[in-house]
Amino acid sequence: MRIVKTFAECRSLASDSTGLVPTLGFVHEGHLDLMSRCRRENDLVISSLFVNPLQFGDPADFDAYPRKFDRDAGLMEAADVDVLFAPSLEEMYPVEPVTAVVVKGITESMEGAHRPGHFEGVATVVTKLLAGIQPDRAYFGKKDAQQLTMVTRMVPDLSLPVEIVACPTVREADGLALSSRNVRLSDQARRLAVGLSEGLFAAADLVASGERDGAAIERTVTAQLAGMSAEYVTLADRASAEPIVQLDRPAFLAAAVEVGGVRLIDNVWLETDGSSDRGRRLDETSILYGEAH
Ligand code: PAF
């Protein structure tokens, strides 16, 4: 695996089929699934590691984000990544930027309503990665459903010559969706946190049994959030990320909670025929809890 610091060097390595897996680092099995799909579908696999200050509202959150370069590089190498793109802040933002990418509508509810500026930061850095590296495909997890809707829509809006590939959420054995934040959960908060995925799965079961009313579907999740404070539980159109009152088109049911001082998000994808995508569960404890963390 080559470690590359500049966009120009990245582009000089491009092949006929180049795949990109963008990350903020602190790699877990969710990222490894993206890399493995990227490996299967491309000649050249590039993974970026850049903790993007533009998408963190609170500078303290940015400072606290775990940075484990050697650990991440080792995991990427083991995942058969060809190129680790790790730009400096100066490479990414050589001059104070006066240009930003703003995606309307899609970013206004849910995460957008609770994290002002977050999606503008993500949209801007993703556009820069796509423009600077010029991959043929880019891989994103369904765990960040609203982000995925946004990035997917940026492609036609900005005529970006790239295919966005969506990959399933990866979960711990008990259902908790993998996130770098999970390591900050106390034992008690960790026990409570499983209620988030349990609520979403219960709602997906309700949909499988025929329910299509948005309020009833959302209530099923809220009922399972004991010990957590819910920021939102929202049934949203998958194409526009706008809240909907009836499951009458492809949707996701998303929730954000705060538990023991840690903010968690999760979702399930729901179809009008009653089927759902709940992601996949690990058999073992996640590498997030390994020695290296
Ligand atoms: O999903 C993430 O990890 C980040 O938002 C991304 C896409 C790497 C942009 O910084």
Could you say which residues of the chain have pLDDT below 50?
Answer: 292-293
**268: amino acid identity, one letter:** V
Domain boundaries, the chain: 2-167, 180-289
Distance between CA atoms of residues 235 and 61, nearest Å: 28
Phi, psi torsion values for 213, nearest 5 degrees: -80, 125
Residue 20, ligand 1, Cβ within 6 A: no
**Which of 38, 50, 84, 122 is the pocket-test mutation for ligand 1 (most atoms within 8 Å of CB)?**
122
pTM (two decimals): 0.97
Residues pairing with 240 in the sheet: none
Distance between CA atoms of residues 173 and 281, nearest Å: 5
Is 215 within 8 Å of 223 (Cβ atoms)? no
The CA 225 to ligand 1 mean position distance, Å, reads 27
According to the model, what pLDDT value does residue 291 have? 60
Topology of domain 180-289, CATH: Pantoate--beta-alanine Ligase; Chain: A,domain 2 (3.30.1300)
Distance between CA atoms of residues 224 and 219, nearest Å: 9
Residues pairing with 257 in the sheet: 230, 264
**Which of 46, 126, 165 is the pocket-test mutation for ligand 1 (most atoms within 8 Å of CB)?**
126
Catalytic residue among 28, 31, 114, 118: 31
Residue 52, ligand 1, Cβ within 6 A: yes
According to the model, what pLDDT value does residue 61 have? 87
Is 270 within 8 Å of 145 (Cβ atoms)? no
Residue nearest to atom 7 of ligand 1 (CA): 22
The CA 281 to ligand 1 mean position distance, Å, reads 22
**Which of 38, 62, 144 is the pocket-test mutation for ligand 1 (most atoms within 8 Å of CB)?**
144
Residues pairing with 49 in the sheet: 23
According to the model, what pLDDT value does residue 44 have? 98
The CA 24 to ligand 1 mean position distance, Å, reads 6
The CA 57 to ligand 1 mean position distance, Å, reads 14
Cβ atoms within 10 Å of 290's Cβ, excluding its own: 11
Burial class (CB in 10 A: 0-12, 13-18, 19+), 215: exposed
According to the model, what pLDDT value does residue 202 have? 98
CATH superfamily of 2-167: HUPs (3.40.50.620)
Q: Is residue 118 annotated as part of the catalytic site, yes or no?
A: no
**248: amino acid identity, one letter:** D
